[in-house]
């Protein structure tokens, strides 16, 4: 008996990807009865589901962001490597390396295996378990940076550039634009790895999730809330702030700020210029072009479904490698982290 094609049981619906035999959605775009959530970014984790299954870290992040009770009436934590049977569908989670708790959702039904990667990256990140490839029949991938122009440099080299600039301009404040879930904590942890021991100052919007990370066992070193009123104290300091704050009046009140931004989009010089970014740092929590292709080959899937971003180029490149690509056209993705180019997010 040949296995039923995953197209016949894992369906694109207005609420998102639906596993029909299992009766659950993966990262649904609206409140549903049963949801499996890959990670805590708001375009994947929405409030109001009746039942939520995710890693314990993702559940904690969702509760911290949405408030107790809004992150699922009932919550079920699944550890990496643990397997569940949901109405005959085998379900397990594998690390996706994107942010703390981020998981690929692996499903097997009647002999066919699908892996829904969620957002993922392949570079080491001291704040997230590393991506683990899972061989499958269908791999569902993101495509945020799916153009050959997007090749991320080693993140350590970007952190070193930041620290060189801080050493060069000791009278100025370096304010680094970064998203509040994942990028902010990864930058803090990487600065510690690079030997930066001084307090790291946080915009108020970043404080709560840093505390959540610390409570989940990720040390970030001494953190302070950045008060622009204390201009003097912030000379020579590093401040982490939301991307929307760095070009804003808030940042202009800092001591001669060096405006930095940490994002895969900073690979495009024009983007940095438009955003008034003096020191662009190409640090991404998403796979780059080479990593998207390498991952597709590594999981040995004859078929890859592409959820959001630049599907066409990726599907074409996969075809050249004998892999069938399919655009999934899921709605409502790319509203948080680097899914949207800076400046487009608010539109």
Q: Give contact residues for Zn ion (rule: CB under 5 A).
A: 41, 119, 337
Q: Which is nearer to Zn ion, 41 or 206 (CB)?
A: 41
- Least distance to Zn ion from the beta carbon of 142, Å? 8
- Least distance to Zn ion from the beta carbon of 9, Å? 26
Angle CA(53)–CA(55)–CA(74) in degrees, nearest 5? Answer: 35
Q: Which is nearer to Zn ion, 4 or 130 (CB)?
A: 130
- Least distance to Zn ion from the beta carbon of 148, Å? 22
Q: Which is nearer to Zn ion, 109 or 150 (CB)?
A: 150
Residue 40 CA: distances (Å) to CA of 36, 37, 101, 235:
11, 8, 8, 34
Q: Which is nearer to Zn ion, 42 or 76 (CB)?
A: 42
- Least distance to Zn ion from the beta carbon of 213, Å? 15
Q: Which is nearer to Zn ion, 41 or 46 (CB)?
A: 41
- Least distance to Zn ion from the beta carbon of 180, Å? 12
- Least distance to Zn ion from the beta carbon of 99, Å? 6
- Least distance to Zn ion from the beta carbon of 98, Å? 6
Q: Which is nearer to Zn ion, 100 or 234 (CB)?
A: 100
Q: Which is nearer to Zn ion, 108 or 337 (CB)?
A: 337
């Amino acid at each position: 008996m040949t296995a039923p094609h995953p197209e016949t049981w894992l369906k694109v619906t207005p609420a998102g990807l639906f596993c029909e035999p299992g009766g659950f959605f993966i990262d649904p775009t609206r409140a549903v009865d049963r949801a499996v959530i890959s990670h805590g970014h708001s375009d994947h984790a929405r409030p109001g589901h009746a039942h939520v299954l995710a890693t314990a870290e993702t559940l904690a992040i969702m509760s911290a962001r949405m408030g107790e009770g809004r992150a699922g009436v009932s919550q079920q934590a699944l550890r990496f490597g643990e397997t569940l049977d949901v109405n005959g569908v085998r379900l397990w989670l594998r690390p996706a390396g994107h942010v703390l708790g981020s998981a690929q959702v692996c499903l097997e039904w009647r002999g066919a295996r699908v892996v829904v990667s969620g957002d993922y990256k392949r570079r080491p990140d001291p704040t997230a378990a590393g991506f683990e490839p899972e061989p499958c029949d269908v791999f569902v991938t993101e495509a945020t940076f799916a153009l050959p122009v997007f090749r991320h440099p080693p993140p350590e080299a970007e952190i070193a550039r930041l620290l060189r600039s801080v050493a060069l301009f000791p009278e100025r404040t370096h304010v680094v634009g970064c998203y509040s879930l994942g990028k902010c904590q990864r930058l803090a942890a990487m600065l510690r790895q690079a030997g930066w021991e001084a307090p790291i100052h946080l915009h108020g919007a970043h404080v709560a999730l840093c505390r959540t990370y610390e409570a989940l066992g990720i040390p970030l070193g001494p953190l302070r809330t950045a008060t622009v009123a204390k201009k003097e104290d912030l000379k020579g300091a590093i401040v982490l702030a939301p991307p929307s704050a760095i070009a804003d009046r808030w940042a202009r009140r800092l001591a001669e700020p060096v405006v930095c931004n940490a994002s895969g989009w900073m690979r495009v010089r024009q983007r940095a210029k438009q955003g008034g970014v003096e020191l662009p740092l190409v640090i991404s929590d998403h796979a780059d072009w080479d990593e998207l292709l390498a991952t597709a080959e590594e999981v040995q899937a004859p078929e890859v479904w592409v959820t959001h971003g630049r599907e066409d180029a990726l599907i074409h490149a996969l075809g050249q490698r004998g892999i069938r690509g399919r655009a999934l056209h899921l709605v409502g993705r790319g509203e948080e982290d680097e899914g949207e180019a800076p400046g487009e997010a608010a539109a």
